Structure 1
C-alpha cells in the first residue's frame, strides 16, 4: 500500500504539455525549420488527395444504385473513415511544430484522439471488408445477403470501438500519474497503451492474412477442379488475378502500417533508447497513405466504379464549362445521359491504353459461374 501511495502521490495534473515533452526529451521547435516545412507540406498534400479521393468514392456509391449493397456500404464507410483520417491528419499538421507548446492538454489529447479514431476505423473497415468477402466467396455469392439493418449495426459498432480507442488515453490510460511510463513519440500517452494499440493492429493484420489466404486456397482449389471443364489459360488467369488483388491488399497494409507499428512497439518497449522521435512523423505520413491506397485498391479495380467516376468527373467538367446544372442520382438501370457518353468513352479509351490484358469477366466453378466481384478478382 505504501508503494502504491507513493506512486499516486506523483500525480500532478497541473503540468502542461511542454513539461511532458521536456520530461521525455522530445524537443519542441521554437522556430520553423526545414524539416517542419517538409513534414507539414508533405502531410497537407497527402491529406488533400486523401479527402478528394475518398469523397469521390462516397459520392459514387451514393449516386449509383448498383452500389446499394452491403459490400459497397462497407466500402463507403471505409471511405468515410479515410476521409476523416485526412481531416484529422490535417488538423495535426496545423497544430504541430512551434504550435505544439501553445496547446492545452485537452487540445493535445483531442488532436491525438482524432488520429486514433480515424485510423482505427479505417483498419476496422479493412477487416470488415475482408470478412464480408470471405463470406460471399465461400458461399458463391456476388453480394452478401446481410440485411441493411445488420450493416448499419456493424458500421455503428466500428465507429463505437474507434471512438473508445481514441478516448481511452485522455480518460485514464496516460502517464500523467506515472511519469516513467511516458512515451517519447506521444509524451502524454502511456507506453503500455502504445504497445497494446500496436499489437491489436498487428493481430488485425494477421487475421486479414488468414482470411484472404483461406479465400485464395478455396478459389484455387475450385478453379483447379474447374480447369478440367475450361481452358488451362483461364484457370491460371483467374488465380493470377485473385493473387494480385490479395497481394495488393496485404502489401499496402504492410508497407503503410508496419513502419508505424514497429515504431510504436519500439517506443513502448524501449522508451528513450528506441530513438523513435527521429522518424515517427514520417512513419505517420506513410500510415496516412493507406487511406489513399484503400480507395484505389477496393474501388478503382471495379469497372462499374471507374465508369461512375468518369460520369461524375465528366459532369463536373461540363458544369465548369457550361452553366451549372442540377445533378440527379445516377440510375444505372438506364444508360448514361447522351451528353456524357462521349466524354466517358474518351476517358475509357485513354484508360484502355494503359491497361494490360489481365481481365476476366467471370470465373467458373463446376455447374456455376460467378461474375467478378469487382475488386476481388
Structure 2
C-alpha cells in the first residue's frame, strides 16, 4: 500500500509502496478513507517535535477495518472506525483515574511508535502518534479505533479525531462554559473554529476571536464569534476588558502555539477565570507569566490533550451535533488532496491558506 513517508527532516514527503505488517493479536488493519493534514505536522516535518525518520505522520483519521488480530474484540471487519490521536487502553493508571487523554499506551511506551511496515529496502517504518494516517492503510492498536455509526461522509467524520474533539473538549470538558459567560479564543485555526462553535452551543454571550488574518476572523464571526480582534492593530487586552466590565473574559482558550499567545490568554482571562492551553510550537519552549496572574488572582490554568475527551462518552454526542447541524464543517474543510499531493497540502498549511486540508483516499 502507498504511504507518504517523512524520510528526512524538512525534506518533501516521499510517496512510496510499503509492505504492511499483518496485525498482531491486539491490533487491526484499517483502510484509510480520509485524514486531515494537521498544522501540527508542519512542526513535525520541520523536526521541532522530535520525530525520527523514516516515519508516517498523520495522527488522526477514519477508515474501514479490513483485518483484525486474534485477540481483538468489539471491532469487526467492514466496520467504519475513527482513529483519534489518543488510545484508551482502559487499564493504565491514567485511564483508571478518568484521564484517558494521557493513556500510557501513547505516552509511556519505551519502544516508541510502532513499526507498521517495511519499505523496498527492508527499512522499518514507524507510525507517528501510533496512527500514521498519511497512508492508504493503517496498522492500529485496537485500543485506538472506535466504531462510528453515522450517515455523514468520512471526509467530515475524519475531523473528529483531532480538531473537533480538541476544540469541543476545550469548551465542554476543560473550560466547562455555561450560558451567559464570555470566552476569548486565541489563534483562529481549525481547533479554535470548533471551539467557537462549541462556545456558541454552550450559550456564551460573548465570544472574542483573536487572529491577525482577516479571513480567519471573518470565518470565526460566521461560525459564532461576537467580536473579532486583530492583535497587530488593536489592543486586544483593552478591548476584551472594555467589553466585559473591565474584568476580562470568563474563559480564555489558546490554540496558536507561540509562548506569547499563551501569555496573552492568561492575561485575557479575568481573576478567578479559566485558561485552557492547547498550542505547542516547539519542544523546550518556555512560557513566562507574571507571578501575580497565577499565584494571587485565582485563575485556573488547564492543559489539554485531545480536549481531555473520553471517546466512548463524547464521540456519540459530538457526532450527533454534526448530524443535527449544530456544528458546521463546511467552511473548515478548505481543500481536498490525493495522497500524491501531500506536499501541496503541507505547503498550504504552512502558508496558512488551508484551515483543514484533507487527504482523501480512493475507497476502492
Normalised TM-score (structure 1): 0.25
Q: Which has the higher helix share?
A: 1
Q: Which has the higher strand share?
A: 2
Higher Rg of the two aligned structures: 1
Greater RCO (Cα-Cα under 8 Å, separation 6 or more): 1
Normalised TM-score (structure 2): 0.25
